[in-house]
Amino acid sequence: MNRYELHCHLDASVRPDTIAALAAEQRLALPASVRALADAPPDVGSLHAFLSYIDVALDVLQTPHALRRVAAELVADWHADGVVYGEARFAPQLHTRAGLTIDDAIDAVAAGLADGAAATGVRTGLLLCCLRHQEPSVSMTVADAAVRRRDVVAGLDLAGDERLPGLPHREAFDLAQSVGLPVTIHAGEAAGPASVWEALDVLGARRIGHGVRSTSDAALLDRLRRDLVALEFCPRSNVLTRAVPTLTAHPADRLLRAGLQVTVSTDTRTTADTTLTAEFDALAATFGWTGVEEQLCQDHAARAAFR
């Protein structure tokens, strides 16, 4: 079965061995084993704590060589996981500590994705992330880069602490939409339905990153169903961050059966220690999914892809 991955953070999907190798190349001493630093434990307990396990990868991803390498390796990992189309997302503004510009970071990741695609045949898309906790001016800079680099950028995202409103970043997303660049927004993960309404009505989201907390609002579910808005569910990550308490409580099964555009992704292949195969295996074990349900999710993802 051809698989599609729409929600995958590059910096949280770096192979542990690669983190170790890059740290050695850069003479960066690590305070603990890579696994201890990069893999969130089952009891990590919150999104804030979960995100801290990405820091070690960010530390080593400050050069064009490192970014190009990990992007190519992600495509190889997709290929091994049966993925025929994958979207990698990252915040280029977080890779400027050592002198890279935002455009330099975009170029390096785009080159790595192209390397991986040439080696495997996997088609790829690149999404840029604005961050809620940063100044709106930074989001405008990222959006401007996304618009200028539409040759390699497939879409714009807003990530970060959902307790912070997306409204201050509206200008960046208006810019993207003014040139037809599609938008996906992290919402309904750490915050409730109001964040999803904002993503749709204020920021123009065509897809929702996670969205698991939409279920308490019947009108919102009707809107998501009517407008064919894809939900980028990442079950293992959603449980680790306590967006849902257990996999049994995850809404993927009931929303799929209710006709919503459910898709399944890994979110963070390293931080969540998962693959797309593992995600669907877990859904099969929990909800009795067969190839029928997976194919439906893949059909939804294929339609929602930004490339």
Q: Which of the residues are catalytic? A: 189
DSSP string of 35-97, one letter each residue: HHHHSPPTT--SHHHHHGGGHHHHHH--SHHHHHHHHHHHHHHHHHTTEEEEEEEE-GGGG-T
Cα 71 from chain centre:
14
Query: Which of 242, 267, 246, 258 is CA-nearest to residue 293?
Result: 258
Query: Which of 199, 39, 202 is CA-nearest to residue 214?
Result: 199
Residue 24, phi then psi, degrees to nearest 5: -65, -45
Q: CA-to-CA distance for 153 and 215, rounded, in angstroms?
A: 31
What b/e sequence results for 29-60 when a residue is b if at least 16 CB atoms lie within 10 Å of its CB, and e otherwise? Answer: ebeeebeebbbbeeebeebeebbebbebbbbb
